[in-house]
Amino acid sequence: MWAPPDLEAQFKVLGIADGTFIDRYSSFLKRTDWVHNAFEDLISKSPALRQICRADAGIASGTVNDAEFNGHVYSFRSSQGLGYVIALPMGAMPLISSGAEMLMLLADTSLCETLGNALTKTGLGKDSEPWLLRLRRRLVRFSSRPYLAKRFSKQIGWQFGMMIHRYVHLGTADTPDVIRELGAIPLVTDVRRWGHPLEAGSNLRFFAIQFLLLHECGHVAAGDLSTTDTSHFEMEFAADGFAFRELIGSADGDDVAISGTLGAWLILLAAWIEDLSQETAPRSHPPARERLERLRAYLRSREQEQPSMTRALEVFDAMASMQKRLFEEAKSAGVLTMESPLSRFLSMCAQTGRHEMFYDQLPRWLLFGAPSRLCRELARLRVCMERRIESDQQDGRAKEQLGLINWVFDAALAAPSNFLSRKLQAFYARARAATDS
């Protein structure tokens, strides 16, 4: 099996040359686990943070194949004492990444420069960026920014809305076409990265990941994982406060503080999802809007001591205004009120006879942890098609759609692991019971 050219280029940068495609890709994934790499980098550059987050049995970190948005910290005990595992879900990363990239395509050049300077200092550990790289980035950005704004300004709003709509209904997010057209962004070790249209969005994602990790470190530092003296939401607010102080209050320079603010803001914009979601299950975290207001209050409280917070607040408000405008554009296009994305896609594949599209897309949606919302919708549609056929044995369209859905159920049943099959069957049983009652 051959590797796509963009992926082959990344193999080359990392020195992965020998073996089958599966072996090489496996090695690539192990070496680029974004949680483990980011956590180790964060701890190595902050002795104070390492001291605060000490654990006798150590702290492990990594991604988990889950489609949820929020991360978790798990405590364990061994012969060495207490230890922790920081686990962040793989499934949320496409949403965070694409959201950051689309927003930064519309951002002004000065904000892109701020993120670039901050990444150089925080991510690469250099006091200043090599002037040739900075010059190249500036030339590329200044020449391409008007073009990008003109080309994508009318597309980003509705595609941004479609991405959020799909995540709300199915718990998964595809890379929007507007991002896909720009190609894969090279790794940080590749000089082609500098000035790439998606570089600023990738830099914003870096600081968003730092906020996620520092939030979980806040739980470790507080030692509140096994206590019940404080309400659950208050523990989450305290972990946010810890992350604000470490990422923004202790930032090494104004650019880093502003970039840290943007990273926290991006993660706390889970309000995108909450505003559209009809979920009634108990929340694992406080409402995102309350968390955003606490971030704003923190920035205001630091203005006297940290003058860069005034600029951070301006950026905060500007990005919030941009996000609101994108939502308004998505509403105007009607993409936030459309029917279930899966129902629409299933109907289109059956109507056009292009079953291969369904066979290609469904595994992609299931790849990041078999989202519960996607499994629930598959089960609901299966029951819906069965009921249609019971009412009309000649309903060929329903039979065709049911055949596609049953392909998913049959493939899950034949898989070595029964995880997906059990999940699908559980939702199917509930859907059947709901229509029988």
Q: What is the pLDDT of residue 195?
A: 76
d(CA 134, CA 282): 47
- What is residue 255's predicted lDDT score, i.e. its pLDDT? 92
Residue 296 confidence (pLDDT): 94
Q: Residue 189 is which amino acid?
A: T
Residue 40: per-residue pLDDT: 87
- Output the CA torsion sign for 246, 202, 101, 180: negative
The neighbour count for residue 375, using CB atoms within 10 Å, is: 24
Residue with the two structure tokens 């102080």: 245
Whole-angstrom distance, CA of residue 412 vs CA of residue 424:
8
Spatial neighbors of 72 by CB under 8 A, at least 6 apart, are 86, 87, 216
Q: Which two tokens stand for residue 58?
A: 């150590």
- The single-letter code of the amino acid at 383 is V
219 closest CA partner among 90, 61, 67, 33: 61
Phi, psi of 19 (to 5 degrees): 105, 175
- Structure-token pair, residue 209: 């990941």
Instruction: Name 138's bridge partners.
Output: none
Q: Both ends of the chain: CA-CA distance in Å? A: 50
Asked whether 63 and 88 are in contact (CB, 8 A), the reply is yes
pLDDT at 123: 66
Q: What pLDDT is attached to residue 345?
A: 94
Cα–Cα distance, 80 to 61 (Å, whole number): 18
For residue 130, the model assigns a pLDDT of 58
Q: What pLDDT, on the 0 to 100 scale, is given for residue 377? A: 95
DSSP assignments along 211-263, one per residue: HHHHHHHHHHHHT-TT--SS-HHHHHHHHHHHHHIIIIIT-SSHHHHHHHHHH
Q: By three-state DSSP, how is residue 437 classified?
A: coil
Angle at Cα 270 formed by Cα 265 and Cα 276, nearest 5°? 140
Distance of CA 68 to the CA centre of its chain: 9
Can you tell me which residue has the tokens 């595992």? 85
The label of the residue with tokens 């951070």 reads: 312
Residue environment code for 394-406, b if the CB has 16+ CB neighbours within 10 A, otherwise e: eeeebebbbebbe
Residue-level pLDDT at 144: 59
Between CA 46 and CA 85, with CA 95 as vertex, the angle to 5 degrees is 40
Q: Give the pLDDT of residue 349.
A: 95
For residue 335, give Cα distances in angstroms to 329, 339, 404. Answer: 9, 9, 25
CA–CA–CA angle 87, 91, 96 (5° rounding)? 95
What is the full per-residue pLDDT of the chain (437 aa) written as tens digits?
566 777 777 788 778 877 887 788 778 777 777 888 889 888 888 888 888 888 888 888 988 877 777 888 988 888 888 889 999 888 778 888 999 999 998 888 888 888 988 888 776 666 655 555 655 655 565 555 556 666 677 788 899 989 888 888 888 888 898 898 888 787 776 777 777 888 889 999 999 999 999 999 999 988 755 554 557 888 999 999 999 999 999 888 899 999 999 999 998 877 667 767 766 556 678 888 899 999 999 999 999 999 999 999 999 999 889 888 888 888 888 887 777 899 999 999 999 999 999 999 998 888 777 888 899 999 999 999 999 999 999 999 999 999 999 999 999 999 888 999 999 999 999 999 998 86
